[in-house]
Amino acid sequence: MKSTTKKKNPRKPKLEENKPGKYDKRNKVNSLTGRDWLLLSGSFWTSVGGADDKEAYGHPAPFLTKDIQKLVGLFTKKGMTVLDPFAGSGTTLLASNQLGRIGIGIDINSSYKKIAQKRLCANGCKKYEYIVGDSLKKIDSISTVDYIVTSPPYHNILQNNGKGIRHHNGKSYRMGAREGVECYTNKKNDLGNFNEYDDFISSLSGIMSKSFSKLKKGRYCTVIMSDFTVNKKEKCVQADIVPMMEKIGFEFCGTVILLQPVKPLFPFGYPYAYKINHQHHNMMHFRKPQ
């Protein structure tokens, strides 16, 4: 005989829109309520733009402020310090300041500091430090930090036909066509200038190892990267980043997909071969053991 017992459906979180969540005093990670923490625990987020992002597109690979705000809010409390060893247009510093955190950024290109300062000044941000130079050397000069969030150069992809800075087409900077080949710098120690992928990973490992030494125990690090092509072949970059970070000493906590559905699609390979359009980034989360 078939059982008459009704199967229980998996319990779903009850999220009441107008009811504030409760904060647990044992929470040492962030200042979020249980409800807000739960909402950020999903395995994918959708990228959200804002007015603060317009000036960032003077950099060939900017991130959106609201996306980084969510990460900073998830992994820190007010007054904590956030490090970005590839600071670029200063989005991490801006997002951190807007949430009452202190931002430290390092970048090898001095022109990006000017972009960052313009953005930070426009928003009245004061609690930040933007250091120009090689992160491998400059990290030694900073004190300990509570969170690391960064998006390293994607090897040397800016040197291919994808080109560099997006042109404003009157609608959206993210939708604009790219104009001209753009490299971060012409310096040999710039991660965007390595010819060999293995050399790129090795150099990135050195910088993240230095970053690890400055991160407080029990705190988190997020590395944001998408897959890309190496020698015209698709490369699963996360498969190299995760073991690299674990070898340094980090614990892997999982990957959240950052969807970017507004990014335009291009007919790569058509009509001869299938080629993917990358419309997401992998936000790989790690933790430094206690």
Is the pLDDT at 40 greater than 70? The verdict is yes
**Cβ(265)–Cβ(277) under 8 Å?**
yes
CA distance 155 to 160: 11
Within a domain: 27:
no
Q: Burial level of 178, CB count in 10 A (0-12/13-18/19+)?
A: middle
Within a domain: 25:
no
Within a domain: 154:
yes
Its domain, for residue 110, covers 43-287
Within a domain: 129:
yes
Confidence label for 270 from pLDDT (cuts 50, 70 and 90): very high
Is the pLDDT at 180 greater than 50? The verdict is no
Within a domain: 143:
yes
Q: Burial level of 219, CB count in 10 A (0-12/13-18/19+)?
A: buried
Within a domain: 114:
yes
Collapsed DSSP state (helix, strand, coil) of residue 115:
helix
Cβ partners under 8 Å of residue 103, min gap 6:
81, 82, 84, 92, 93, 94, 95, 96, 97, 127, 128, 129
Neighbours of 181 (CB within 10 A): 14
Within a domain: 72:
yes
Q: Give mean pLDDT, residues 111-123.
A: 93
Within a domain: 33:
no
Range with the poorest average pLDDT among 67-81, 137-151, 178-192:
178-192
Question: What's the domain count of the chain?
Answer: 1
Confidence label for 177 from pLDDT (cuts 50, 70 and 90): very low
| Helix and strand counts by DSSP (H, E) for the chain | 7, 10
CATH number of the domain bearing residue 70: 3.40.50.150
Residue type, 167: H
H or E stretch covering 37: helix 34-39
